[in-house]
Amino acid sequence: MRDPVQPLLGILMLDTRFPRIIGDVGNPDTWPFPVRYGVVAGATPQAIVCADMTPFVEAFISQGHALVREGCIGIATTCGFLSLMRPQLATALGVPVAASALEQAGQIIPMLAHGKRLGVLTISAESLSDAHLAAAGVPLETPVAGMEGSSLAASILGNKPTLDVRAARTEMIRAAEKLISLHDDIGALILECTNMVPYAADVARATGIPVFSIYTYLRWFHAGLAPRQF
């Protein structure tokens, strides 16, 4: 019988130094179940989001194997841009892989009212390509807004040791409201960036629509890894 305390979900972490506040995927207190982390050395936010991630594929696979050997039966990541790497990770690791919050699109879109569509908030709209969207099953015509020029993006992509939480919350709300003002048919939002989760409730209150994130995704994912005993 499997030890109920044994972490079943392994999370592949980028190599970061910015604060991992509660709500962030990289803070273990975010989760209502135990998780195990593995850091991929050198895989900074800038390297993964704004450059070619190909040189890091083997390092992600190696860390993934380490987590599987430690008992994890499902693997996740801490960057939505890693949707591009999911097929390689899943094939190499032999366990289910939830690589990006964007991968929820196929579940969310059928739930929306007729005439409504999904919107995406990302840390960098400039870097989020059609390839990233297609890999995650997001329709290419989906409205996308980035956080370019924000203090949040500066902290995350710049991998700074500081984070202005109050400013980030305001920036997230403003970005969401602007996106919806431009596309009034948006019926739900996905937060691509795993560091946006702490502000999801604020965005939902401000916009009045559902907000999905890596938190909602991995809660669902873990529920399959560890079904509740009734």
Instruction: Give per-residue pLDDT as tens, 54-105.
Output: 999 999 999 999 999 999 999 999 999 999 999 999 999 999 999 999 999 9
What average pLDDT score do residues 189-206 get? 98
CATH class of 101-213: alpha beta
Separation CA 204–CA 211 (nearest Å): 6
Residues of the chain with CATH 3.40.50.1860: 9-100+216-225, 101-213
Sheet with strand 9-13: strands edge to edge: 35-39, 9-13, 74-77, 97-98
Question: Is the predicted pLDDT of residue 1 greater than 50, yes or no?
Answer: no
Burial class (CB in 10 A: 0-12, 13-18, 19+), 176: buried
Q: How much is the mean pLDDT over the chain?
A: 96
CATH class of 9-100+216-225: alpha beta
Instruction: Give per-residue pLDDT as tens, 113-159.
Output: 999 999 999 999 999 999 999 999 999 999 999 999 999 999 999 99
Q: Per DSSP, what are the bridge partners of residue 98?
A: 76
